[in-house]
Chains A and B, each alone.
Chain A
Amino acid sequence: MSRLPGYWGSVLEVDLSTGRTGRREIPAADYEQFIGGRGLGMKLLWDLLPEPGVDPLGPDNPLLFMPGPFAGFPLPSASRTCVVTKSPITAPVASPHRHASTVSYSNMGGFIGPEIRFAGYDGILVRGRAAAPVYLYVDDDRVEIRDAGRFWGMGTDAFDRAFTEALGDRRFRTCYIGPAGENVVPYASVINTAARAAGRAGTGCVMGAKNLKAVAVRGSRQPDVAAHKRFLEALDKARAGFRGTPSTENWRRYGTGSALVASSDNGTQAVRNFREGTFEHIERIGGLAARRAVWQRDFACYACPLACKKAGRVADGPYPGLVHDGPEYETGTMLGANLLIGDLGGVQRAIWHADDLGLDIISVGGVIGFLMEAYERGCIDRDALDGLDLAWGGVDATVELLHRIAHREGVGDDAARGVRHLAGRMGHETAKFAIHSKGHGFAAWNVHVQPGYGVSYATSNRGACHLNGFTPDRQNGTALVDSVGVCLFARGGYAAGLVEQVLESISGRGWVDADYAAAGERVFNLEKCFNYREGFRRSDDSIPDRFFEEPLTVGPRKGAVVARDAWDRMMAEYYAKRDWDPATTRPADARLQALGLEFARVKLPA
């Protein structure tokens, strides 16, 4: 088989049930069509799951760690690793398939993606389920499934240190789950460097269901490129594009934390379980405050000039001495503004516990916000909360609940199943403020003022997602960036056409503009086909009633609400642009054929 330059031509395949390890060859056409990362991961998922309804927690659900083709080269901010699997958290309103769920993908920065490529693989595919806790050890060609019994139960922070110690070399790059993943909490995260996370969509839950505590990778090799000189030219151009720009400066200074105050001022923040868009105490937990009182140092992912990661220490207040990252926009909002916690030390404390337990902070912040609102309204009482006084703004109660969720104790077991499950148990009117789409919680951007975020949430293939994009074009573009492996925060640093140019110099495959854009659309539509086959339909592309019925009551955008007719028009426009049936959301046959997705089309129900 002819190998495409820039790729190794295979992924590492590990079956935890049998203990077998080996290489799985990837056809050159799959690289050309799906590129890598999220796209190639989706193609592999499709191939590995020929039928709908596979149990996401069962041994048949594959778990893929997918860097993109940029990983392994010193290109700026191109270190993302997309974790791809079948979601353990989403579900359609109705489906003939018992375990129906969407695709799941979630990507993380750091160093492990490049390291997978240095070790000689374009990705890692984990299948099966280990009988007892294990970790995967990869040192170039040496691949071992090793006992992880002594690590089971450890929080991610202590584990990160103990694991590095056990591996005996800091050149190993690792990722792992915490107690939440071990206990198969549907929104458990995969963590690396004790702070970076593939947080969303339940990837850590699937890892835990496989009894896989961690992955460790060390590599000494590097892929080649098709056109060396052109690659170097493009590399120099990319590096120069980030140098000294205001955007680079801002990322270094505040990371995503700069959005905390700005979003609140614009009425676009998730506040009080998405009831409001502005938080009166936002300045206490915003970027400026954090820079002053918490952040000590800025850290970067592999070859990244932005250093958006902020490591800090809480200086004073009730929790002095706590050392951890944050707040970022998402973590500071979901465990801050959304819970009305306006104390920076308290927010940091909640973030540390959630990361240490290996919980997706976006999801769990939504769950706790929902429960706080339910408690305030009297939909759930203190007894049902096992004695927790879950009043708005309570740091101790929040931390306690994080632990009960991760360990699935008492009310924590119900809370671990997400807001949709909780609303189902509590009764009908609570569904209005159970903030999710397809069972996946919303992220920290609120909808009233920016209904485009509603479209992003409603139409995302992994369930609610703020990174998805407001329009089909934007969504296709995001799918591309996630497939190449460039960080979304850095996409503006690459001049127009430069990503394609780099990709061409790496693989030697010529990309014309339309061809390149189609690749993003192809990835998005294959994900959609997967979901459609599972039983997801028009009624699954929805957002909760709250956004239509309860206008904002505070802040500069007081009164903002989404008009139903405007929403219906936006969605109709969306399906028309996508060329999907507005009644069922089924992609048009001709569109799928044009995208080269005939193989998926034939598997769709009529």
Chain B
Amino acid sequence: MSASEPSPGPLTALDLCGGVRADRRDFIRLAAWGGAGLAVGHFGARTLWAQGPSRQPVYAMILVDYNRCTGCRTCEAACAQFNHPVTVDGEEQRGLGNPSLSNIRVHAFNPDADVPVVCVMCRDNPCVAACPVEPDAEGRRALYRDPVLLTVRNDPSRCIACGACAEACRAHRVGAIIPNRETNRPERMCTLCGGDPQCVALCPYGALSYIKGGLDGRHYALPPERIAAELIARWYGPAQGGDVR
């Protein structure tokens, strides 16, 4: 184990969403039930890997272990580096990692709690549902799910920049979508880095996992303020705060 001693064990949105999935074994079973297996990078102390045979699209997402996150924001830079490459001397290279472009964003709170926020790949995608653009022949609105990775994508050629998707995510889920400051088109939807998530690979603390699986059709979305309040209550207890003379 690294940082903490005694090790607190993982604490993720699965635990915080009503406490239904507090147990890691449950979680793994669920994922297996989803039919496609599970790939977990740094979950808990063990590395788990189980790949199912199905070729169906699989819901996948980045899961944060709040007990491990230190708020270092390496994930933000790693995300921006991968998703915003630059061409140097005719060669495509990773970028320099401007965190204001990142699809994962770490929110800091006082008392200390850091909450990385990233699209949780809701099955019912209220963001997509909110898009007023008429579906095209393939049934796609201006916001749609990628057929392979099921990530949320924007078609800028049809997007009317109304901001409804960002508002839906903010109001009902995690606030993953941030409209572009100039164009107001939706940005910062996690791409899963095409299947090799860089935030997971580069988090120095093993706080992020790439999980694939059915996840029982639920979404594990809580706004960062709610997560922070829960973490603060757990870590620092009810009487948290400063002191009086």
Q: Are B243 and A298 in contact (CB under 8 A)?
A: no
Number of contacting residues on A, CB 8 A?
60
- Is the CB of B183 closer than 8 A to any CB of chain A? no
CB of B115, distance to nearest CB on chain A (Å): 9
Contact of B110 among A194, A239, A349 (CB under 8 A): A194
Contact of B98 among A118, A231, A297, A353 (CB under 8 A): A118
Contact of B72 among A155, A221, A302, A324 (CB under 8 A): A302
Q: Are A305 and B72 in contact (CB under 8 A)?
A: yes
- The CA-CA distance from A123 to B94 in the complex, in Å, is 27
- The CA-CA distance from A324 to B112 in the complex, in Å, is 9
Binds A, one of B48-56, B136-144, B232-240: B232-240
| A193 with B110, Cβ < 8 A, contacts A118-B100, A243-B204, A307-B3 known | yes
User: B240 — nearest CB in chain A belongs to which residue?
Assistant: A323
**Residues 74-88 (chain B) with a chain A CB within 8 angstroms:** 74, 77-78, 81, 86, 88
Q: Are B114 and A296 in contact (CB under 8 A)?
A: no
Contact of B94 among A232, A301, A323 (CB under 8 A): A232
**Residues 503-519 (chain A) with a chain B CB within 8 angstroms:** none
- Is the CB of B218 closer than 8 A to any CB of chain A? no
**Residues 90-125 (chain B) with a chain A CB within 8 angstroms:** 91, 93-94, 96-100, 105, 107-114
Interface string of A299-320 (1 = CB under 8 A from B): 1111111010101010000011
CB of B4, distance to nearest CB on chain A (Å): 7
Q: Are A252 and B2 in contact (CB under 8 A)?
A: yes
Q: Chain A residues near B81 (CB, 8 Å)?
A: 74
- The CA-CA distance from A298 to B111 in the complex, in Å, is 13
Q: Are B93 and A352 in contact (CB under 8 A)?
A: no
Question: Looking at A228, A253, A353, which has the most chain B CB atoms within 10 Å of its CB?
Answer: A228
Contact of B77 among A74, A319, A321 (CB under 8 A): A74
- The CA-CA distance from A321 to B236 in the complex, in Å, is 8
- Is the CB of A450 closer than 8 A to any CB of chain B? no
- The CA-CA distance from A400 to B107 in the complex, in Å, is 35
Question: Looking at A253, A303, A399, which has the most chain B CB atoms within 10 Å of its CB?
Answer: A303
- The CA-CA distance from A325 to B235 in the complex, in Å, is 13
CB of A556, distance to nearest CB on chain B (Å): 27
Q: Chain A residues near B96 (CB, 8 Å)?
A: 73-74, 222, 224-225, 228, 231
- Is the CB of A157 closer than 8 A to any CB of chain B? yes
User: A253 — nearest CB in chain B belongs to which residue?
Assistant: B5
- The CA-CA distance from A161 to B108 in the complex, in Å, is 11
Contact of A400 among B74, B235, B245 (CB under 8 A): B245
- Is the CB of A10 closer than 8 A to any CB of chain B? no
User: A254 — nearest CB in chain B belongs to which residue?
Assistant: B5
CB of A144, distance to nearest CB on chain B (Å): 18
Q: Chain B residues near A118 (CB, 8 Å)?
A: 98-100
- Is the CB of B205 closer than 8 A to any CB of chain A? yes
- The CA-CA distance from A325 to B111 in the complex, in Å, is 10
User: A251 — nearest CB in chain B belongs to which residue?
Assistant: B3
**Residues 153-175 (chain A) with a chain B CB within 8 angstroms:** 155, 157-158, 160-161, 164, 170-171
Q: Are A352 and B243 in contact (CB under 8 A)?
A: yes
Interface string of A304-348 (1 = CB under 8 A from B): 110101010100000111111100000000000000000000000
Q: Are B70 and A160 in contact (CB under 8 A)?
A: no
- Is the CB of B25 closer than 8 A to any CB of chain A? no
Q: Are A323 and B111 in contact (CB under 8 A)?
A: yes
Q: Chain B residues near A229 (CB, 8 Å)?
A: 88-89, 91, 93
Q: Chain B residues near A228 (CB, 8 Å)?
A: 86, 88, 93, 96
Q: Are A242 and B204 in contact (CB under 8 A)?
A: yes
- Is the CB of B73 closer than 8 A to any CB of chain A? yes
User: B107 — nearest CB in chain A belongs to which residue?
Assistant: A170
Q: Chain A residues near B98 (CB, 8 Å)?
A: 118, 220-222
- Is the CB of A403 closer than 8 A to any CB of chain B? yes
- The CA-CA distance from A195 to B93 in the complex, in Å, is 38
**Residues 195-245 (chain B) with a chain A CB within 8 angstroms:** 202, 204-205, 235-243, 245
- The CA-CA distance from A403 to B112 in the complex, in Å, is 24
Q: Are B100 and A307 in contact (CB under 8 A)?
A: no
Question: Looking at A164, A297, A321, which has the most chain B CB atoms within 10 Å of its CB?
Answer: A297
- The CA-CA distance from A171 to B100 in the complex, in Å, is 9
Q: Are B4 and A321 in contact (CB under 8 A)?
A: no
Q: Are B204 and A305 in contact (CB under 8 A)?
A: yes
- The CA-CA distance from A242 to B204 in the complex, in Å, is 9
Q: Are B100 and A239 in contact (CB under 8 A)?
A: no
Q: Are A298 and B70 in contact (CB under 8 A)?
A: yes
Q: Are A157 and B242 in contact (CB under 8 A)?
A: yes
- The CA-CA distance from A155 to B107 in the complex, in Å, is 23
CB of A194, distance to nearest CB on chain B (Å): 5
Q: Are A352 and B108 in contact (CB under 8 A)?
A: no
- The CA-CA distance from A301 to B71 in the complex, in Å, is 7
- The CA-CA distance from A291 to B109 in the complex, in Å, is 22
User: B235 — nearest CB in chain A belongs to which residue?
Assistant: A296
- Is the CB of B181 closer than 8 A to any CB of chain A? yes
Q: Chain A residues near B67 (CB, 8 Å)?
A: 297
Q: Are B4 and A298 in contact (CB under 8 A)?
A: yes
Q: Are A296 and B236 in contact (CB under 8 A)?
A: yes
Contact of B237 among A161, A164, A321 (CB under 8 A): A321
Q: Chain A residues near B109 (CB, 8 Å)?
A: 170
User: A244 — nearest CB in chain B belongs to which residue?
Assistant: B2
- The CA-CA distance from A165 to B239 in the complex, in Å, is 22
Q: Chain A residues near B71 (CB, 8 Å)?
A: 299-300
For this complex, 10 residue pairs linking A to B, each with C-beta atoms less than 8 Å apart, are A74-B77, A74-B97, A111-B73, A170-B108, A171-B100, A296-B236, A300-B205, A309-B112, A313-B235, A400-B245
Closest 9 CB pairs of A and B: A321-B239, A74-B77, A300-B72, A305-B204, A222-B98, A311-B112, A300-B70, A307-B70, A228-B88
| A interface residues, Cβ below 8 angstroms from B | 73-74, 111, 118, 155, 157-158, 160-161, 164, 170-171, 193-195, 219-222, 224-225, 228-229, 231-232, 239, 242-243, 249, 252-253, 291, 296-305, 307, 309, 311, 313, 319-325, 349, 352-353, 356, 399-400, 403
Given A74-B96, A219-B100, A220-B100, 12 more A-B residue pairs with CB atoms under 8 Å apart are: A73-B96, A160-B110, A229-B93, A253-B3, A297-B70, A297-B113, A297-B235, A299-B112, A300-B70, A303-B74, A323-B242, A349-B243
